[in-house]
Chains A and B, each alone.
Chain A
Amino acid sequence: MRLTLAALAGLAWRNLWRNHRRTLIMLLAIAVGVWAMIFMGALMRGMTDEMVRNGLRTLPGEVQIHHRDYRRDPSVVNSMAPPAPALLRELGRAPVAAWAGRVRVPAVIASERENRGVTLLGVDPAAEQALGALPEAVEGRFLRDGDDRGLVIGAALARRLETGLGKRVVIMSQDPQNEVAERGARVVGIYRARLEETEERFVYAGRAALQQMLAIGDGLSEIAVTADDYRRVDEWYPRIAAAAGEGLEVLPWTALDPFLASMLAVQDGFSLVFMVVVFLALSFGLVNTLAMAVFERVREIGLMQALGMRPALILGQTLVESFYLLCLGLLAGNLLAVLSILPLEDGIDISGVAQGMAMMGMGNTLYPALSGRDMAMSTVVVVVLGLLASLLPAWRAARLDPVRALNTT
């Protein structure tokens, strides 16, 4: 008699439901475990994504080009000329989606009452728009073009300076000769950012207007470059670096902001550790359930062996039973995860702990990111480790001595 695979599968399925209460409890446990794995993964991924997005917006760009000494000494002295033809050609080629040259200098901004140290950004609005680095919400208007002589400041800064739309402020910085360069300007727009720190730090001015004030001709402080996928920056930034030549420093965001890079790098690791830990807590119950199932059927297994069923098939049958259990649990857990995460994808309000999250570069809302990667990872963890754990009881079942097994009460 040859027991076909189909018969084996059918047998295992029926065995599973002989004690439906026990099976259901175990299923529930697996489902809760799988749900927790995916749910936690989605929260962590949502957090990392948000941190990286915020970080890249603030930088901005996935790659930045500076004068070789600028990052050590962020002064107007270390400006660079606009991109040379070779670099320009490389910046126009895919996968580069957009780039913008900006003037970025430390400055002091003063209203009639208060003053603050800020980072003054001279931007070309059209290029920044393409880069996706413009502030999202602006009250009043943003700068029209590079010649715009107005200023756009953050809402938090406006509060601290006790100034507002249409009011005049003075900006002070230094020109290359270290003479104080200053100019009065009107606040034409007030922007809001996800992080208050950003609002306080960055002030936008027209690029040409700022270059004129600082007397640096068409010099730039940094060129920000963006492409479609920040994860793949290593593939293309070396070409830009080669084209930029000796005097310039070309760095990807992973080098510009190591905190972000490391968060992204350890995220998958953390998810995996969490999943394995949850599974381990689960595995005791799984092994116990299977061991019980085998124990109840010692006589039956003995009989099957006496009738000529090979140990390998008994092992296989127990494993298939465990496989069903795991698959059903996975199905339920994934379903539960999808159902619980989808309604939350519009964002969870975490403004109650906003200042704490801001320390990590997070905004007021956490967007859980349901990802196929987490679902696949949890499936692999549960199935592989689950079958491994089931080997123990299955092995014991297969090694039963038929005569003794038949004689147990």
Chain B
Amino acid sequence: LIVAGSGTNLPLFRKIAELYQQEHPETKVVVPTSIGTGGAVRALMDSAIDLGLASRKLKEREKRAGIVEIPFATVELVIAANSSVKEKTVTEIDLLDIYNGKRTHWSDGAPVVPLIRESGDSSRAVFAKILPALEASMVRAFHSRAWKVCYTDGQMVQALVSIPGSIGFMDLGTVLIEGLPMKTYPFPGVDAKKPLSMLTMGRPEGEVEDFIEFARSSAVQDILRLGGYLPPDV
């Protein structure tokens, strides 16, 4: 059983896959590296995978192609920083100053290293909707190469863990499930969330249907609780 898709889902589904295989040793569940929600859709259309993982709502043309979206959970998005950062809170003004380049040092004098995602990233799309000024700063930064760009969740995790003074964005679930050594701050003012869902080509059957049922069962509630996941917005 091949389960692939958005990087936001991968830590969670690797755990779920482990649990599923414990109960169904006859089934081997493979969770490859991130191919993104779009990649999951294309792979489903090619029948290259059995189950897709999405961290955004499906587009109309994807739905028209026969992709079925099965809402699964909602994950909170947070501001993440290297563990060396001493700040207790990060405000909206702090964020804008940092990404506009006005603020270059933390309060303890350490240099600030802003990290951004590419514009197609689903987390960034959520922030863009909430705080357009921040998105404008990121667009400028991307084209001027002012800040380091991370193209996968993995790259973001690695950068936040290893670069002192770095600041970026993560989903809280990944941080908690994997116990990543980094600081997290709630997005100022509003709850930043994005939906997680499973994708199938047409109506799920057989092992895929079993796996979906398993993932939605109480068997995985501990993991969901651990990661701070919320029920899906239906």
Is B truly associated with A?
no
